[in-house]
Amino acid sequence: GDSVTQMEGPVTLSEEAFLTINCTYTATGYPSLFWYVQYPGEGLQLLLKATKADDKGSNKGFEATYRKETTSFHLEKGSVQVSDSAVYFCALSTDSNYQLIWGAGTKLIIKP
């Protein structure tokens, strides 16, 4: 079945460091790909999305490119801030029903 694999956390970085959180997927068909973020004590917020190969999603300085050849959707940010500390979830949905299939989540800790 369809699945999403994320790098395990926690990932601990210093402020202004470069961030990469790896995400790979397995899916039949052509999924849409998403990154959601969960700040401490809050719900799930959409961070960015991409719906077809080579699309780049971007928001708040974060970017991810839909790579069909490597079945990946890695999240990157050039310079992280303390306020980026959160849990980041990679997810996919397919045309049937659009339910989201989730990765395990990666906790990001940014130290000042």
Partner 1 sequence: EPEVTQTPSHQVTQMGQEVILRCVPISNHLYFYWYRQILGQKVEFLVSFYNNEISEKSEIFDDQFSVERPDGSNFTLKIRSTKLEDSAMYFCASMGDGYQPQHFGDGTRLSIL
Tokens of 97: 């029903």
Kindly state the greatest CA–CA separation across the chain: 44
CB of 98: closest distance to partner 1 in angstroms? 6
Report the DSSP beta bridge partners of residue 20: 76
CB of 77: closest distance to partner 1 in angstroms? 20
By C-beta, is 15 or 56 nearer to partner 1? 56
Q: Within 13 A of 8's CA, how many CA atoms are on the CB side?
A: 0
By C-beta, is 80 or 90 nearer to partner 1? 90
By CB under 8 A, tell whether 89 contacts partner 1: yes
Whether omega before 10 lies within 30 degrees of 0, making that bond cis, reads yes
Tell me the CA distances in angstroms from 84 to 28, 37, 39, 109, one per residue in order: 33, 9, 8, 8
CB of 20: closest distance to partner 1 in angstroms? 20
What residues numbered 19-78 form the site for partner 1, per CB under 8 A? 34, 36, 42-46, 49, 51
Q: Of 81, 99, 109, 111, which one interacts with partner 1 (CB under 8 A)?
A: 99
Query: Do residues 31 and 46 make contact, with C-beta atoms less than 8 angstroms apart?
Result: no
Tell me which residues touch partner 1 (CB under 8 A). Answer: 34, 36, 42-46, 49, 51, 89, 91, 93, 95-105
